[in-house]
A and B are shown apart, each in its own frame.
Chain A
Amino acid sequence: MTEFKPDILAFCCNWCSYAGADLAGVNRLQMPTNVNVVRVMCSASVKPEYVIKALSQGIDGVLVLGCHIGDCHYMTGNHRTAKRIPLTAKVLEKVGIDSRRVKLDWVSAAEGDKFQQVITEFVEEIKGLGPNPLREVRF
C-alpha cells in the first residue's frame, strides 16, 4: 500500500493568517506539503458550502484560519466564522464524517510559528484519520 498523502485545503484571511503563512515562509519554517492555501479577504467570507463541497468531493481536511478574535481586519467579521465553522463540523459529524476534518484556528500576522504548528498538527491529525471516506463513495 502506498503511503497516504492527505490533500488539504486551507482558507486564510488576507490580513492575518495569510500574512502569518507568509512569515512562516520568510523564516523558512518547514512543514508538510499537503496543505494548499486559498486566500480570502476575511475568514468570515468562507462559506460553509466551500467546506462541504471540498469534503464531499474527497478533500481530506479543511482548515479555516483567521485573525484572533478582536483582531479581525473587519472588526467582528470573524465572530461569525467562530460560529459557522464549528457548526459545519458538527453537521458533518451527523452524517458520518469525522468533525476533526474541519478545523478553525486563529493565526496572526506575527505567528509564523503558530502557522507551522497548526499545519503540522492538522496534517498529522488527518493522517491519523485516514483518507476521507467520501473519496470512495460514488453516487
Chain B
Amino acid sequence: MTVRIGVFICHCGHNIASTVDVEDVVEYAKGLPGVVYSGRNLYSCSQEGLTSIKESIKNNELDRVVVAACTPRTHEPVFRRACEQVGINKYLFEFVNIREHCSWIHTKEKEEATKKAKKLVAMGVAKVALLEPQEEGESDVVPKAVVIGAGLSGLSAAAALLNQGIETHIVEKEATVGGILRDIAVIGPDDVDAQELIRSLTETVEKSPKAHLHLSSKVTELKGFIGNFELTIEGGGKEETVQAGAVIVATGGVEHRPEGEYGFGELKGVITQLELEKILGSGELGARRIVIINCVGSRQPGREYCSRVCCNASLKNAVRVLDTDPDASVTIVHRDIMSCGTVAEELYREASDRGVRFVRYGLDQRPEVSSEGEQLVVEVFDETLDEKIDLESDLVVLATPIVSPGDSSETSKLLKVPRDKHGFFLEAHVKLRPVEFATDGVFVCGSARWPVSARECIWQGQAAAAKASIPISEGKVVIEAITAVVDPEKCAACGNCVISCPYDAIEIVDTESGRAARVSEAQCKGCGTCVAACHNDAIQQKGFSSRQLGAMIDALIRATAEVSR
C-alpha cells in the first residue's frame, strides 16, 4: 500500500522557530519514506494555519498527516477535526511534539534541538504510515437503573432517579429498608426524624409505577457494560433477570461489633452506640450515669481511618440523654473530638455547656472497664489531669466505626469494582470523578464509599443518580476507538490478556479459528495492558500497534544515523 503523507512543521511564532531550524526540518522531512508534502506554518492551529493545512491536503491528495508542533494533550482535537473536514479519518493523524519536548527544553542548543526535532518527525512519519482508520462506535442505552442497597443513600438515589421518570430496580438484602437508620431515631446534628425521612423516601418509591423494590434479595450476577447491563436478582427463592443502563452501589456499612473489647459481650451494661440509639428511640433509658468511649476499634493500627460520624453521634446522644433526664451525668472519653462544620461544632458547645464531661485518652493508655457489683467502672488516664481517674457508671457506650459489610468483597467481585484495604469501595478518582467507579456506568454513594453522615448520604445518592441519568437520558454511549483487538487466528487462548486487563474486558470464547480471546469493545478503555501481556502479538491496541511502535524505534535508529552524518 502506498501512502501519501503530509508533514506540517509549526513555528509556533518564536516558541519553536527560535530554537529549532524549522526550514531545515521541513527539508529533512521531504526525504522521509512516504512523505509527498512537507511544509511549515507560523501558527498551525490558527484559522489561517488550519486553512493552509487543509488546502495542502487537498492539493497534494494527502491521505495521512503529521503535524509537528505543541502537545497532543491540548491540540490533537483541533488538527483531527481539520483532517476530518477534508475527508481524512481522524485516526490517520499523528502529532509530534517539538515544543514542550524540544524547543522549550533545549533553548540554548539550537543545533542539537534541530536534530532531535528531525528524529521526532521521522518517528511520527514512520508511525503515521502504518496507522489505520478507526471508527468510534456507539451503543444504545437501556433506560433503566438498578440501585443496590436501600439505606438512606440508596433510597435517595432511587427517589432522584424516579423523579426523573427513570425506571428503577432497588435491591435490598434485608426484609426492610432503611439500613443503619432502621435503628436510629434522630439524626444529628440538626435533629431530623430518621424514621420520617425513611418513610417519605419509601413513599416516593412505593408510589412510583416505575419502581421495583426487591426486598430480601441480592444481585447474583452482572454482565455487560454501560448502557447494557444484565443483572440477575435473586430473592425469595425466585430469580429475575433485569436489563439496566446504569448501576448504583449503595450497600453502606455496618457498625463494628467490638467483641471482647472493654468488656463488650462480657459485662452487662456495655453496649454499642447503635444500641444506645435504639434505647433512646424507645424512650426507656434507665441509666443515669453514662460513659461513652469514642474511637473504639478505629484510628489505630489495622483500622486507621476515622469513621467521621461517631463523635457527632456521641455528642448528639449525650445531649439527648440530658434531654430525657436533666440530672443524668454523661462523660465522653475521647481521643479528639471531630465535630467539624458549623452545626456540629455548636452541638459540641451545647454539650459542654450542659455539663457533659470530656476526658481525653491516648492510644498508649486506653481506658479499662470493669464491674463492681451492680455498677461499671471505667478507669481512664486523663491526659489533661495527667492522672488516672475512675468513672462510675450504669452504662458504658462504645462508639465504634462503620465498617464495610462482610459481603462487600462479594459485591466487589460481582461488579468488578475495586475496594480499598478496609473494604470500602474506591472511586475512579477521588478528586476528579466522585461517585463514579472506573467502570463506566457503575456508581457508588453513601457509607459504601467510606463512613459518611446522613446529609452526605443524601447528596451522594442524588449525585450518583444524576450521573447515572446522563447516559440514560442521552440514550447512546460512545465507545472508545483505541481499544484492543484480537487476531483470533494468532491467539493461543493462553488467557494472559484476560488476567491482566484492569477492566476485565476480555474473555476467551469459541471462534471460527478455535478458542480465542475477545475484547468487549464497550468495556475496553484502551490502556494496552493486555497488549504487553500477549506473547505472540495476537492482541493489538488500535493506534498503538506493535508494528507502529516498532517502526518508530526503527525510524529513530535510522534518523539518528542520518542526522549525525
Contact = CB atoms under 8 A, between A and B. Distances in A.
Contact of A49 (B101, B115, B546): B546
Given A22-B100, A33-B116, A84 B532 contact: yes
Contacts of B391: none
B546 A24 contact: no
B23 to A, nearest CB: 19
Interface string B115-128: 11001100100000
A57 B553 CA distance: 9
Interface stretch (B105-113, B178-186, B311-319): B105-113
A7 B559 CA distance: 11
B532 A46 contact: yes
A44 B500 CA distance: 10
A95 interface: no
A116 B104 CA distance: 12
A36 interface: yes
Contacts of A54: 553, 556
B134 interface: no
B290 interface: no
A73 to B, nearest CB: 7
A59 interface: yes
Given A44-B528, A50-B549, A33 B556 contact: no
A31 B102 CA distance: 9
B225 to A, nearest CB: 16
A41 B109 contact: no
Nearest to B71: A22
A40 B550 CA distance: 13
Contacts of B502: 74-77
B527 A41 contact: yes
Contacts of B97: 22, 37, 39
Contact of B100 (A24, A36, A41): A24
Contacts of A31: 105-106
A29 interface: yes
Interface residues of B, number: 48
Given A36-B119, A36-B123, A44 B529 contact: yes
Nearest to B482: A41
A69 to B, nearest CB: 13
B557 interface: yes
A117 interface: no
A42 B526 CA distance: 9
A9 interface: yes
Contacts of A86: none
Contacts of B100: 21-22, 24-26
Given A22-B73, A80-B533, A45 B105 contact: no
Given A25-B99, A45-B531, A50-B549, A36 B73 contact: no
A19 B556 CA distance: 22
Q: Which among A5, A40, A41 has the highest number of chain B CB atoms within 10 Å?
A: A41
Given A40-B528, A73-B527, A59 B123 contact: no
A30 B19 CA distance: 13
B298 interface: no
A36 B116 contact: yes
Q: Which among A7, A25, A80 has the highest number of chain B CB atoms within 10 Å?
A: A25
A108 interface: no
B527 A77 contact: yes
Nearest to B109: A33
B532 A44 contact: yes
Contacts of A37: 97, 101, 120
Q: Which 10 A-B pairs have the closest CB atoms?
A: A45-B528, A25-B100, A74-B527, A44-B529, A33-B112, A25-B104, A42-B527, A22-B100, A47-B532, A75-B502
30 contacts: A22-B73, A22-B97, A22-B101, A24-B105, A25-B105, A28-B105, A29-B105, A30-B108, A33-B115, A36-B123, A37-B97, A38-B549, A39-B72, A39-B97, A41-B526, A42-B527, A42-B528, A45-B528, A45-B531, A47-B531, A47-B549, A49-B546, A50-B549, A57-B554, A74-B438, A74-B503, A75-B418, A75-B502, A77-B529, A80-B533
Interface of A: 5, 7, 9, 14, 18-19, 21-22, 24-26, 28-31, 33, 36-42, 44-50, 53-54, 57-59, 73-77, 80, 84, 116
